A and B are shown apart, each in its own frame.
Chain A
Amino acid sequence: MAGFVLIVIAAFFFPGIILRSKSIASGRKGPGVFQPLKDLTVLFHKGSVFSHATGMIFRIAPSLTLITIICAMMLLPFAEQKALFAFEGDFILFSYLLALGKFFTVIAALDTGSSFEGMGASREALFLLLAEPVFFILLATFAMFTGYTSFSVIFNHFFVTGNDYVLIYSIIGIYLFVQIAMIENSRLPVDDPKTHLELTMIHEVMILDYSGFDKALIHIGTYLKFAMFGSLIYNIIVPAGWNVILQTGLFLAVQTLFAIVIGLTESFRARNKMNKNPKFILTLSAVALVAFMVILILTDKLV
């Protein structure tokens, strides 16, 4: 339960911190930390415009995607507390829930009949399929490393058993989770949310036709997803046994740091060339496989 609540709390600040760090890095005064939330309230007050071409799918997709994210959040633990739902193989459900959300985002984009949205949908679906193995290989590595197959138990046993190599997994895990979070949320270097040309957009172009309530739901989903991946990263950095108050502080610190890192990355680097993206994502799978090889070496299976 604590994990769930903390993710929600972190999600309140997350987009604002990204925004702040970006404006500071670029020397602008910029909006305040709570600007994204204010934008949300504006969206909630607005009416909606729906395209003639769209039907039911377009209307239910944002709600459904948000619910998939909320369900996925229930699977994440915090410190020694188990998640709301903790069972063997919960990360399989986690990954498939996120994929279900993407499925609907993609078909909702196709529902508008716009070529641009079709283009975005095609790209997003492609990156999704390429990114799928990364998560599974990483979790397979963790499962082998700890001997367990549930988020809650894996993270509880991550730092025990006198394992000196845990640092390696933390680092590779952090790197991969950050990159997966970026792909899932369509951020740099795979996609740039601030681009202004439809031809170069991926995720943004898919939600072009949304307005009002549905658009607000999409934003909330993105914020929650960021905080959710932040929580995954937190779990492989901080040992589960520490003091709860300290943990809570660290949790918020890690989330803030994650947001700042995203903000800074987006300030200082350009997006990948579109046709380099598949290679980039496949490289992540390779990195995950390296992590797996390392564990084979460490456990003396591969000399």
Chain B
Amino acid sequence: MLSAILFLAILFLSLLIFFVPGKVKYFFTLALIVIGIVVTTLWSSELIAGDGQEVERTLLSAGSGSILVLTIDRLSALFVLVINITVLTGFLYARGYLARYLQTKSSLSFSIHYFSYLWLWLSMLMVVMVRDGLSFLIVWEIMALSSFFLVIFQAEERTILKTGINYLIQMHVGMFFIMTGFLLVGRDTGIMSFNALTEYFSSNPNFPLFLLFFIGFAIKAGFIPLHTWLPEAHPSAPSHVSGVMSGVMIKMGIYGIVRVLMAMQSDLLLTGTVILAVSLFTGVMGIMMAIVQHDLKRLLAYSSIENIGIIGTGIGLGMIGLGLDNPVLAVLGFAGGLLHVLNHSLFKSLLFFNAGSVYLATHTRNMEELGGVMKRMPYTALLFLTGSLAICGMPPFNGFISEYFIYMGLFRSLAGATLTHSIVIVASVVGLSLIGGLAIFCFTKAFGIVFLGEPRSQKAVNISEMGRTMILPQLLTVLLIMIIGLGSPLVVRPMFEMVAQSFGVTMPTMETGSFMSNLSQISIIGGLFVLMLTLLLVYRRLHLKRRQVEAGPTWGCGYTAATPRMQYTATSFAYNYNHIAKPLLQNLKIMDEIREDDLFPSRRTFESHSDDLFRRYLIDRPVDWVSGLLKKIAVMQTGRIQQYILYAFLFMLLVLLLSFLKII
């Protein structure tokens, strides 16, 4: 009971942020976050220690009914873990990141920032713990609002404000779908709640309602083509916020989808196939668009879309497994997808934080102006490299483990699959391996161009490493990445138990045992790999000590006396790829060609941008069309009162006529 009061206290104490003096503001917020983490972790551990069913906490009750009830099951516990880790590391990192704004920003805007950050965290926690529909919608809305305020931290830049508003509008479109879903459930069962979904699904067709919820949650999660807010909002936000939004907040969409799926009883196969198709498309397109970006944070944002695709693939396969009564596919699919939620939150926040450090040092996110950052910021570079390797699914990092889960689900169910089933499986295998290959292309580019070689502009020359307060919190993330990567057998049982509780499927005990032994062999090879590498590197050092080692310029041809601007750039690295991907991605080229009769051509400029086709055709075009139409209608707005009276008169006449004709 004490813990519930404590949690409630945090909600109210958060208001004090506005009144605490400037210097302690940060630490006050940090203290609230730490207390909250302790409380929620206690609840989750109670779940594991107890009968493992559910833990319930009533925060507010009025009269006979309770208003705010928090319920934690294993699924919520996973998401609580994900939220807490990234929010904590993000806030620790934020101290150094925000330090440079101390001079330019008022105390009030810091208060608003901290307050929003705190409430983003609280609302996400409540999103995963609240079951009642109305409360859910309220905390969902708080989540959208608080993240909106975080995104527009630098609102003095007009583009950022515009992005923020775009984000807010899209979130509300999504909210509308979710609300409609809840209303349908409420109309049918009398209760607007996730708990009533089971009842609704047992007597109604499952797929239509699922689709409503799916669209609503998919906007948050960033499934293509509903992703257009994501690559705009993430780069605009300060890096610790981008890390939290990309690592955690978009996963709330995944949470919602999974919560709905848990209640479904029929149309499982159809649902699974739809999720799978959308996810594979999202994964491939997301990473394909990521490759052509020049803006480091935009690249990371698109790669988040790709990872949402991988998560969705796992979940879709899980549903197909349920539909086909194939427990192995179901368990491995769900477990892989949900483990990837945790994994992605770790490495993506790591990548965003370090992209933020690069931005702080160089004041640019444009990769074409960077280069050679590793020599000047070695720790940041190593952290970014760790994140890159993990996100590409390289052993022995954690990304490999979740992809291994999903691949195993696929390969294990191949034998004895029906025709359509095996086509689905092979399509997924092709999709996943293609995503893997593309991710390697994307992150060799991101890491290689930004951190290696020579600086491509002055901006990247006089820079220095970030302070310890920004590096150290990230080591926690790296530690977790390595624990999951090298100690993967540890995560199997909790993940499987969570899937068992949520979806009621279990793998046969023997299978679980053999799966764990597979993973332990992978861990052994991972350990061996690290060991052998260390030995070889030590030997190499000793070997080179006995030889003559010189330093010289990079091999001459093509590099002598040139400026570092002649290095391969991000665009040139992706040139070949661009050539192949042209049908799917369109590059905008802005230039005026030199005509033949133009004897003395004047100064010209050339620009090329990667364009998001989905945004152009699904958002920009329709919006332009509608606003064009509205402009035409605006002719009626003359400002003369006589005409307005005429409109009113005409309207009344119309109503009269219609009612006379018995139409209304």
Binding site for B on A (CB under 8 A): 44-57, 60, 63-64, 66-68, 70-71, 74, 85, 87-90, 92-93, 95-97, 99-100, 102-103, 106-107, 109-119, 121-123, 125-126, 128-133, 135-137, 139-140, 143-144, 147-149, 198, 208-209, 212-214, 275, 278, 285, 289, 292, 296, 301-302
Closest CB in chain B relative to A59 CB, distance in Å: 8
B580 CB-CB contact with A under 8 Å:
yes
Cα(A290)–Cα(B258), bound, Å: 36
| Residue numbers in A under 8 Å from B449 (CB-CB) | 110
- Cβ–Cβ contact B444 & A88, under 8 A: no
B550 CB-CB contact with A under 8 Å:
yes
B28 CB-CB contact with A under 8 Å:
no
Closest CB in chain B relative to A215 CB, distance in Å: 12
Q: What are 14 A-B pairs with beta-carbon distances under 8 A?
A: A47-B550, A57-B374, A57-B385, A110-B444, A112-B453, A113-B371, A114-B558, A122-B574, A125-B441, A129-B438, A130-B437, A133-B429, A213-B543, A292-B426
Chain B 507-522: CB-based contact to A (< 8 A → 1; otherwise 0): 0000000110110011
| Residue numbers in A under 8 Å from B389 (CB-CB) | 100, 103
| Residue numbers in B under 8 Å from A54 (CB-CB) | 554
Partner of A301 from the list B404, B418, B425, B515 (CB cut-off 8 Å) is B418
- Cβ–Cβ contact A301 & B441, under 8 A: no
| Residue numbers in B under 8 Å from A133 (CB-CB) | 429-430, 433-434, 437
- Cβ–Cβ contact B549 & A50, under 8 A: yes
Task: Classify the secondary structure of A's interface with B.
Answer: helix
| Residue numbers in B under 8 Å from A106 (CB-CB) | 440, 444, 448
Cα(A278)–Cα(B576), bound, Å: 9
- Cβ–Cβ contact B394 & A99, under 8 A: yes
- Give residues 524-572 of B contacting A (CB, 8 Å): 524-525, 528-529, 532-533, 536-537, 540, 543-544, 547-555, 557-559, 564, 566-568, 572
- Cβ–Cβ contact A296 & B440, under 8 A: no
- Cβ–Cβ contact B554 & A51, under 8 A: yes
| Known contacts A46-B547, A52-B551, A88-B408; A99 and B453 CB within 8 A of each other | no
| Residue numbers in B under 8 Å from A209 (CB-CB) | 554-555
Count of B interface residues, CB-CB < 8 Å? 88
Closest CB in chain A relative to B75 CB, distance in Å: 26
Cα(A285)–Cα(B425), bound, Å: 16
Partner of B454 from the list A53, A70, A100, A147 (CB cut-off 8 Å) is A53
Cα(A61)–Cα(B558), bound, Å: 23
Partner of B394 from the list A96, A289, A301 (CB cut-off 8 Å) is A96
- Cβ–Cβ contact B440 & A70, under 8 A: no
| Known contacts A133-B433, A133-B434, A296-B419; A126 and B441 CB within 8 A of each other | yes
Chain B 350-368: CB-based contact to A (< 8 A → 1; otherwise 0): 0000000000000000000
- Give residues 564-619 of B contacting A (CB, 8 Å): 564, 566-568, 572-577, 579-580
| Known contacts A110-B448, A113-B454, A116-B558; A136 and B537 CB within 8 A of each other | no
Residue of A nearest to B568 (CB): A118
